[in-house]
Structure 1
Amino acid sequence: MGVSMQTAEMWVERWERQQRRYAVDREERFTVIADVVEHVCAGRPRPLLLDLGCGPGSLSARLARRLPDAEIVAVDMDPVLLELGRTHHPDAAHYVDTVIGADGWTDALGLRRPLDAAVSTTALHYLDEATLLGTYRALAALLRPGGALVNGDHFPPGTTPCAGLTAHVGRRRAERTGCHDHEDWRTWWAQASQEPELADLFAERARRRPPQGVSGAEDLSLDRHTDLLHRAGFGEVTPVWQFGDSRVLVAVRQ
């Protein structure tokens, strides 16, 4: 049995609320990412975009509204989130089930032309540093010259005092906006696992295992990400928006 639109809408809306706890000014971050993509794709008749770690289609849906002529491929490895996206945002993207950074993961995308932009938000930090470098290299190979990777995530500064300061500013901003009044990530997953319509998807989720050797790169500094991107084949790398250590980082393919 598939997931009904009503059920998908409820769980996606709850997902949107709980994610605000973890991405400072999340909606503004989405808007900035769309601004960059719009600029990079100016004059392209049917831009091709890749949404990495798409979850239930939050960023893809916003990009589809901003760039209605774009073709969007949205990638995730979680069967629950992918099905919620396919049901709630069916026209926003073509959803692909694959593990970012795994061997041959780009083959599953079915791309027939170079990408104009790759985007991500609060997703790539789960990759360890070596896998992240390999992913950056794969994306550089998929992007056209002048295409861009646009990544919204936590990029702390390299020095400990400044890292503590930016994290504090971000937390205070979240407190002022009431984001911590929403349920958290763990509560969302615990409650969603009790939804009868999602039972088969949760069973499939339980059968899967995370890639071996993945410890996450949450603590990689902005400078370290910049170095990895340069090594992967990107030319210019710059943050275009920041609040606390939440940033939108843009890397342009040479």
Structure 2
Amino acid sequence: MGVSMATAKEWVERWELQQQRYAVDREERFTVIADVVEHVTAGRPRPLLLDLGCGPGSLAARLAARVPDAEIVAVDMDPLLLELGRTHHSGAARYVDAVIGDNGWTEALELDRPLDAAVSTTALHYLPEPTLLDTYRRLAALLRSGGVLVNGDHFPQDATRCSELTAHVGRRRAERAGSHAHEDWQSWWSTAAQDPELADLFTERAQRLSVRGGGSAGDDLSTARHAGLLRQAGFHHVTSVWQFGESHVLVAVKD
């Protein structure tokens, strides 16, 4: 079910453009995440990084460029996106097919030492709150002392009026940047499904999704609620290091 390098390049490049519609200042957010990782891993030989919900390797590729000595393990449940990442960003990471939050998912990573950093961007919000808390606890156990969990995602404010303001500022920023000129999420998936080279991967993806149960996602959780869950999971030092609109980079440091 492999894909050619040309096909992977086309769909990853289109993925990068459509994602700009949903992450305000996406490239800057990637850069901030890399800044944190670079700082935490400075002077450490062969740092170990985990990319959660890696998709086609967008964040892993940027981290590999910034921290070239790092070993990156990238995990996702989507067979199509994983195959695109393995082909287009083959040298960036070791890609693992696993469902974050399922039983045994951390064992599937086959880590040989504690993590220096676990990172994610626009991925963990799909986890229901109890699963998110369990995931935070498992990540705390995997990280070394001084290691970090860095999560770039959409975090609405607790108060409705404040949330309306941050969402509005984010939308206006996206309009000025011209991000909404790119194809959207649904268009990307619909068009990719017409590519015969991806047909087998789409079949496998559909089969997996059909057996996945539903659940209430955590995409309405505020920054404060995420911070509370992180502290409950054992991270005593939690801060937002960057924000634009509802887009944040939230960092939790392990003692």
Normalised by the shorter chain, which TM-score bucket?
over 0.9
Question: Is 1:233 equivalent to 2:230 in the alignment?
Answer: no
| Corresponding residue of 1:112 | 112
Question: Is 1:250 equivalent to 2:232 in the alignment?
Answer: no
Question: Is 1:175 equivalent to 2:179 in the alignment?
Answer: no
- Can you give the 5+ residue segments of structure 2 that lack an aligned partner in the other structure? none
| Corresponding residue of 1:134 | 134
Deviations 1:50-101 (A, max 9, x none): 0000000000000000011000000000000000000000000000000001
Secondary structure at 2:96's aligned position in 1? strand
The answer on whether the counterparts of 1:126 and 1:214 sit within 8 Å (CA) in structure 2 is: no
Question: Is 1:29 equivalent to 2:9 in the alignment?
Answer: no
Secondary structure at 1:157's aligned position in 2? coil
Structure 2 CA distance for aligned equivalents of residues 110 and 100 of structure 1: 14
| Corresponding residue of 1:6 | 6
| 1:149-164 matched pairs, under 5 angstroms | 149-164=149-164
Structure 2 CA distance for aligned equivalents of residues 212 and 115 of structure 1: 30
The answer on whether the counterparts of 1:47 and 1:71 sit within 8 Å (CA) in structure 2 is: yes
| Corresponding residue of 1:196 | 196
| Corresponding residue of 1:41 | 41
The answer on whether the counterparts of 1:8 and 1:84 sit within 8 Å (CA) in structure 2 is: yes
What letter is aligned with 1:217? G
| Corresponding residue of 2:52 | 52
| Corresponding residue of 1:207 | 207
| 1:44-83 matched pairs, under 5 angstroms | 44-83=44-83
Q: Shift in Å at residue 213 of structure 1? A: 4.2
The answer on whether the counterparts of 1:233 and 1:253 sit within 8 Å (CA) in structure 2 is: yes
Structure 2 CA distance for aligned equivalents of residues 28 and 101 of structure 1: 28
Structure 2 CA distance for aligned equivalents of residues 97 and 16 of structure 1: 21
- Can you give the 5+ residue segments of structure 1 that lack an aligned partner in the other structure? none
TM-score normalised to structure 2 length: 0.98
Structure 2 CA distance for aligned equivalents of residues 53 and 40 of structure 1: 21
Structure 2 CA distance for aligned equivalents of residues 64 and 4 of structure 1: 22
Give the number of equivalent residue pairs: 254
Structure 2 CA distance for aligned equivalents of residues 83 and 47 of structure 1: 25
Q: Shift in Å at residue 42 of structure 1? A: 1.0
| Corresponding residue of 1:216 | 217
201-210 or 216-225, which moves further after superposition?
201-210
Secondary structure at 2:10's aligned position in 1? helix
TM-score normalised to structure 1 length: 0.98
Deviations 1:19-77 (A, max 9, x none): 00000000000000000000011111110000000000000000000011000000000
Structure 2 CA distance for aligned equivalents of residues 37 and 2 of structure 1: 31
Secondary structure at 1:208's aligned position in 2? helix
Q: Shift in Å at residue 156 of structure 1? A: 1.4
Structure 1 CA distance for aligned equivalents of residues 26 and 123 of structure 2: 13
What letter is aligned with 1:247? H
